[in-house]
Every structure is written in C-alpha cells, then in structure tokens.
A and B are shown apart, each in its own frame.
Chain A
C-alpha cells in the first residue's frame, strides 16, 4: 500500500481534473448560448442541470479533500451521461427522430458547430460526462 500522503495527493489531482472538466464544460456551454447566441435545446438544458452543480460539488470537496464526494457527484454524472448518450443516439439516427421528446422549439439534432467532422456540441457534452465518469471511477479505486 502506498503512503497515505501520496494517495491523497493523487486523489486530489484526479478530483481537480474532474472540477476542471466540469468548469470548462460549464463555461463552454455558456459561451455557446450567451456569446454565440445559439439557443439551447431542451436536452442541452437537462445536461446543464447535471453539469453545473458538479463545478460546485467538486470545488467544495477539494478543500479539504473529501472522498465521499463520489456519492454526491455520481447521480449527476449518470443522469447527465444518460441524456448525452440519448441525444447522440438521436443525432446519429440510431434512435428514430420521431421518438425524440424535443420537437418543440430548437431541434436537438441541429448542427451548430461541427469541428473536424464529428465534434458537435452534443458530442462535446458526451465527452465531458465520460471523462468525469472515468476520472471518478479511477478516484474511487485510488482514494476509497
């Protein structure tokens, strides 16, 4: 077993990366809607509801390091990831369009950005939630 100090340092760093990912995702989504004026679709809102609190939860858990954070952060990550996967399935037409619950207002499958041919806003959200989930799993193994 590694010395305690070293373990907690590594755990802290992992949690810091979680916080950094959530913060970048939060500011990025705000940039898209408030600066570039892309109206967010309903799916985006559900994912925002899960992503924004993570910035605060991770931040609080960093000082001092609180390993119980996983318990509180996980539900948000899972729910957000669920919507992100669902929206990407719609986007890639793996699920039929007619099944989507967001027919009113902005379409959840519209292409506001498409960097390098695959990096859409929908994909960015999926990547962010996946990174946080993987880091949290890693954190669990190292810290608890």
Chain B
C-alpha cells in the first residue's frame, strides 16, 4: 500500500539520519579533541593539576571528577589498579568537575589540603566517608569537618587556606576546561585526549590499554 510505504520510508530515513548523525558527530568530537590534545595540551593538564604515577610515563589518563560523586569514588581504585598492571606507562591527572551543589566547597578543602601536603590523605578520607557526608547526591559540608583530622589535617588552618583566591582560580579554570571539553557527567575520562565515549569499566580498560 502506497501510504504504508511513505511512512516506512520516512521512518527509515529518519532513523538512518539519527544514527548516521550520531556516528558523524562522535567522529567529529573525537577528532576535535585529538586536535586539542596535540595543539593545546593545557586544556587537559594544568600546572596545578595533581598528577599520580610514574614521572617518566608518557600516557595520560585525565579524570574529571566530583568528590561527592559515587561513581567517581568507585572508579578511583579501578584506575589505580590498571595503572599498577602497567607500571611506568601511565600518569593519572585529576581535574575537578564540581557538578553537585556545594561540591565546590569540598574541592576547596581538597586544594587547601595541598598547603599541608596532605592531598592524597584528604582525598582518601573524603572517598572513604563519602556515603556519610554525601548521601543521595547532596553533600553536607558540615559533616566533613569531623572526618578531616583522620587525614592528619590542621582543620583551623584548612578553613583559612580554603578562602585563598588562588584556589578559586584553580577550580574556575577546571570548570572552564571541562566546558571546553564537553564534560557534562562525572567521572569523565580522557586517555591521551581520547574521550571515553561509552561509559563502563570494561570500556575504560580497553581505552586505556589501546594506548599502550
């Protein structure tokens, strides 16, 4: 029947346009990032960004995260385990994407801990007690203070350091770079500038190991 033909042809055309469009868009997006990774490395790594792993490693895993995000917490040890499997190959660069309300303050705490040389400890404590201070995606800043001494922090000094304008500048820079790179969800990973497009443990491992 003529009418059914019209419908199915248009449906077919539209669906093809949708999936073809997604394919082309993702290709363009990846190429664009690849270009930025080559021409404009600083969007991915800033001098202030915390870096883990072997200093001689040539491959970069860039992780945009939010301290209040549960998936970020879950992926942190996973990424570390992959890096351990390939010693000397990868560096992990941490970037901030404080999307949750009030996550901004938590990032301020983290950055302020740098002044006391306790960044790792603070990050670990934040993740360890995350379910206590950030249940159901709303960080409760007042609860965090009680956990911080476990990281060996001088809490009073931390309160003062948090207000420093350079910390503000660091976080704003990370938010801007996140926007440039199209980060809308956390965690968002880039390996040598290549984005993790389909999210998942297996997909991330494949992306990382494809760069070896």
Contact = CB atoms under 8 A, between A and B. Distances in A.
Interface of A: 12, 16, 19-20, 23-24, 27, 30-31, 34-39, 59, 62-63
Interface in B1-53: 3-4, 6-7, 10-11, 14-15, 17-18, 21-22, 25-26
Q: 5 smallest A-B Cβ distances: which pairs?
A: A35-B22, A27-B18, A37-B184, A35-B25, A39-B184
A16 B6 contact: yes
Contacts, number: 34
Main secondary structure of the interface of A (DSSP, over half): helix
Contact of A31 (B4, B10, B11, B22): B22
Interface of B: 3-4, 6-7, 10-11, 14-15, 17-18, 21-22, 25-26, 182, 184-185
A36 B10 CA distance: 23
Nearest to A59: B7
Given A20-B10, A39-B184, A30 B3 contact: no
Main secondary structure of the interface of B (DSSP, over half): helix
B19 to A, nearest CB: 9
A37 B182 contact: yes
A62 B10 CA distance: 14
A71 B135 CA distance: 46
Contacts of A39: 184
Nearest to B7: A62
Contacts of A62: 3, 7
A12 B2 CA distance: 12
30 contacts: A12-B3, A16-B6, A16-B7, A19-B7, A20-B10, A23-B11, A23-B14, A27-B14, A27-B15, A27-B17, A30-B18, A31-B18, A31-B21, A31-B22, A34-B22, A35-B21, A35-B22, A35-B25, A35-B26, A36-B25, A37-B182, A37-B184, A37-B185, A38-B184, A39-B184, A59-B7, A62-B3, A62-B7, A63-B3, A63-B4
Contacts of A19: 7
